Amino acid sequence: MAQITLYIDEATQARLRQAAAQQKVSQSQFVADLIRRATDNVWSPQALALFGSDPDFPLADELRSGLPPDPERDL
């Protein structure tokens, strides 16, 4: 397992210690979980629940109307 060194001020360290203790995990596990969540490419269930929840929100085609078409891309 890889190791990293973090340089944080005392106030941040205290907050980390308290947050990890509240979740009953080590500080290392708490930080690793934060990194995983920050780099995860999956929508949260809370975000997914919002899709379609506003009937007045315009569709993508409506939002793009009046804009020039996307330029051709060389692949």
**CB atoms near residue 28 (< 10 Å):** 13
Residue 63 belongs to some domain of the structure: no
Contact 1, 11 (CB under 8 A): no
Residue 33 belongs to some domain of the structure: yes
Q: How many domains does the chain have?
A: 1
How far is residue 13 from each of residues 18, 19, 52, measured CA to CA in Å? 9, 10, 41
Q: How buried is 51 (Cβ within 10 angstroms: 0-12 exposed, 13-18 middle, 19+ buried)?
A: exposed
Task: Indicate if the pLDDT at residue 27 is higher than 80.
Answer: yes
Task: Indicate if the pLDDT at residue 14 is higher than 80.
Answer: yes
Residue 30 belongs to some domain of the structure: yes
pLDDT digits (tens, 9 = 90+) for 35-69: 998 898 888 889 889 888 898 988 888 988 988 98
Give the range of the structural domain holding residue 26, as residue numbers without chain letter: 8-37
Residue 70 belongs to some domain of the structure: no
Residue 69 belongs to some domain of the structure: no
Task: Read off the tokens for 64.
Answer: 């793009």
Residue 67 belongs to some domain of the structure: no
Task: Indicate if the pLDDT at residue 17 is higher than 90.
Answer: yes
pTM: 0.57
Task: Indicate if the pLDDT at residue 30 is higher than 90.
Answer: yes
Residue 22 belongs to some domain of the structure: yes
Residue 59 belongs to some domain of the structure: no
